[in-house]
Amino acid sequence: MRIVIALGGNAMTSSDGSARPEDQARAVAEAAEPVADLVLAGHDVLLTHGNGPQVGNLLLKNELAASVVPPVPLDWCGAQTQATIGALMLSALDGALARRGSDRRSAALVSRTLVDAADPGFTAPTKPIGRYLPEDEARVLIEHGQHFVEVPDRGWRRVVASPEPLECLDGPAADTLLAQGYLVVCSGGGGIPTVRRSDGTLAGIEAVIDKDLTASLIARQTSADVLVIATDVDSAVTDWGTPHARPIGEVSVAEMRAISRDQGFAAGSMGPKIEAVTRFAEQSGGTGIITSLARIAQAIDGHIGTRVVPAVPAPR
């Protein structure tokens, strides 16, 4: 079975959110263990990951040094974190596999995601990133071409485009590596935002792409059987935070669409995860799963987690 697993950026930090290098290395090592078990069970695995805390660190360095050196573009920040997290994951995954007696190897791709250059977010950005700044600090970055908005009583905050992912440009390379037996790390942080110019050439662009929607896309492009969105809960829940809360088990695409309309899952948390697994099941015919990292194997076997399938078989 071919499985795509999307790890959240917070899976690369300690439990208290610390993103020191040693915290990230420890967290990645822990994440590698259940993934290695899946490989040993005979599955082909592609990993993608978030990079929010890591990009946040780079943006802070940009802010602190803006009056000395030009800020690094946001697409470069994505590329840097893909390489950094990729290197950590390669070492952790190779080590976890070796401890299990496997000679399977892993490979990481610095990978791009195509977006529409005409997306309205590029002329009127709305996605907030980074921390709130006083006006004098924000002005330095505005002079470098960044967009900021003033939030009453909070300060100034950067806003960027958040376009829809259209194509994982390096999906064919990932597919080739999977076919050769590699455990592949690809499309981290939603992929490096890239546009196609009028002359057909490609160029990076400053934007934030939703990592879960890109995970759904790379899963479809590589003909995965299963997409797993690994988070910090065992399943998605309806009526979250109320006495009526209940986990969502196995549902059809149509049922999940109806649940989503009724629940209004938050855009900043569960909403994109629900949309990603639903799109995958709807467009590929595979199974989309939301569960915790530690329970992935059980969720794939159908024992736990939120599972979205094209259609739930009628009872006999």
Distance, CA of 1 to CA of 41 (rounded, Å): 10
9 is catalytic: yes
The SS3 assignment for 281 reads helix
Distance, CA of 274 to CA of 257 (rounded, Å): 9
Cα atoms in the 13 Å half-sphere on the side-chain side of 21: 3
Question: Residue 13 is which amino acid?
Answer: T
**CB-CB contact of 122 with 207 (8 Å):** yes
Among the listed residues 56, 57, 95, 127, the single catalytic one is 127
61 is catalytic: no
Among the listed residues 10, 56, 61, 95, the single catalytic one is 10
Among the listed residues 130, 190, 211, 305, the single catalytic one is 211
**CB-CB contact of 9 with 53 (8 Å):** yes
- C-alpha distances (whole Å) from 247 to each of 5, 33, 91, 97, 241 are 21, 26, 35, 33, 12
Among the listed residues 52, 273, 286, 305, the single catalytic one is 273
211 is catalytic: yes
Burial of 16 by CB count in 10 Å (0-12 exposed, 13-18 middle, 19+ buried)?
Answer: exposed
Distance, CA of 118 to CA of 311 (rounded, Å): 35
Distance, CA of 34 to CA of 122 (rounded, Å): 39
Q: Which run of H or of E encompasses 34? A: helix 21-40
Backbone angles phi, psi at 271, to 5 degrees: -55, -55
Among the listed residues 9, 78, 171, 190, the single catalytic one is 9
**Can you name the residues that pair with 203 across neighbouring β-strands?**
195
For the record, the structure tokens of 25 come out as 């290395």
Angle formed at CA 109 by CA 104 and CA 113, multiple of 5 degrees: 140
Active site residues: 9-10, 127, 211, 273
